[in-house]
Amino acid sequence: MFTMGSYRAVMSRAAFWLTGGAAVAAVFSIAACQILMALALVALLLSDTRLRFPPLGLPLGLFLAGTLLSLALSGDWVSGRPQIRKFFLFLMLFVVYSAFRELAQLRRLVLVWAGAGAITAARGLVQFQEKYQEAVYAGQDFYQYYVGERITGFMSHWMTFSGQLLIVGLLLAAFLFFSPAAKRKLLWYGLLCGALIGAAVLLGFTRSIWLATGAGGVWLLWHWRRASLAALPVVLAAAIWLAPGVRTRVVSMFQPQRELDSNQHRIVCWRTGLRMIQAHPWFGLGPEQVRIQFDRYVPPDVPRPLPEGWYGHLHNIYIHYAAERGVPTMLMLVWFLGKVLYDMLAALRRLPPGRSEARFLLHGVAAVVIAILVSGFFELNLGDSEVLTLFLAVVACGYAARDAALKTAGSPEEPEPEGGALPA
């Protein structure tokens, strides 16, 4: 007989699968991701699942409140509405944290993310080969032909593509370094996915992602085997030497080609943003006003025409959010990111030594946060809906892993979940 209890149980299972589908769909389609997330939310509300939210309510709530206040004071409610609609994306924290509770479930989600990342990376590598051949047939220098139209995978822009692969790649590396399951049949799966993702990140030519990958990778190597860091310069030198155009791209960090590389363009954006902050330090210009009012704040000593590049945002999350929504609201975002990192490190300190599913997830999320903090100096990474949604899902997984591991560690009589939880 179909009872209310069985109905709620069905809704609970549906919520789990819909949530997992939404988290993975972020790698392929933000529209599909949002549809699945909305369905997961409805299923959760109709299920018998105990609802919960990660302990991030205060910094996140203040960040959202600061955004609303900035919009209200800007006087342009219509232009700022896209940023208010993005509030929906933060429900990813709620649905993933509520639906995923066991370490084995979280491990499987990471492995599916790795497979999804490998598929989109493979598509990007095919695109790279096509672009290389196009440059050859056109008789053009490959670097000049490629930098303005790089590989995108299933996304619309190379920054989105590279930002998502950064997150997935660091989680996968953490799995290979710290998970007990990586010693068994999943090792070759992880290595294959990692090779595809790593190659796509390298050939994406996105310098901020390279720096962020290095920062997150150093964190993981330091906590895995510190001696392995000695081989890092050799690996980097080989990648720079062997990959087409990579050496030129690395050199461009220090010796940019003025109308091709974006160094001067970013400097103009940062200087303009600082003038915006100086004029409106508390509440900013308002959501979307940086794009609209950019020309008003360009420093007078900057020659025209401006260096080639996109001037719709400030290519720095710290400067951009301070200019757009005020310094206090930007600090709420930094608090949010800092709290995630602090909570992951605190949980790692409380875990007994040894390899476990929880340890790989906690290290992976910490590495992802570090990478986001680093790449945020050069790009508005969390302003991208696809990257933000995937990042929030990963953060929720970190808190779910923390709770599952510490609960198991504190309850010797509780059976160990499948997949290598903490020993009693």
Tens-place pLDDT, residues 324-377: 999 999 999 999 999 999 999 999 999 887 777 899 999 999 999 999 999 999
Q: Half-sphere exposure of 331 toward its Cβ, with a 13 Å CA cutoff?
A: 6
pLDDT in single tens digits along all 424 residues of the chain: 557 678 899 999 999 999 999 999 999 999 999 999 999 999 999 999 999 999 999 999 999 999 999 999 998 999 999 999 999 999 999 999 999 999 999 999 999 999 999 999 999 999 999 999 999 999 998 988 998 889 999 999 999 999 999 999 999 999 999 999 987 779 999 999 999 999 999 999 999 999 999 999 999 999 999 999 988 888 888 877 777 678 778 877 777 765 565 678 899 999 999 999 999 999 999 999 999 999 999 999 999 899 888 899 999 999 999 999 999 999 999 999 999 999 999 999 998 877 778 999 999 999 999 999 999 999 999 999 999 999 999 999 999 999 998 887 654 333 333 333 332 2
- The structure's pTM equals 0.93
Mean pLDDT score of the chain, rounded to an integer? 91
* Residues contacting residue 222 through CB under 8 Å, at least 6 positions apart: 229
What pLDDT score was predicted for residue 415? 36
User: Is residue 159 classed exposed, middle or buried when 0-12, 13-18 and 19+ CB atoms within 10 A define those classes?
Assistant: buried
Structure tokens at 158: 């190379």
Give me the helix-helix angle, 158-178 and 357-375, nearest 10°: 150
Contact between 37 and 22 (Cβ < 8 Å): yes
Q: Are 37 and 390 in contact (CB under 8 A)?
A: no
How many C-beta atoms surround the C-beta of residue 51 within 10 A? Answer: 12
Q: Report the run of H or E that residue 104 belongs to, with start and end.
A: helix 103-138
CA proximity to 371, closest of 245, 201, 152, 234: 201
Rounded Cα–Cα distance for residues 400 and 14 (Å)? 19
Rounded Cα gap, residues 386 and 33, in angstroms: 9
Q: Which amino acid is located at 150 in the chain?
A: R
Q: 60: exposed, middle or buried (C-beta count within 10 Å: 0-12, 13-18, 19+)?
A: buried
Q: Which residue in 324, 317, 278, 271 sits closest to 298, CA to CA?
A: 271
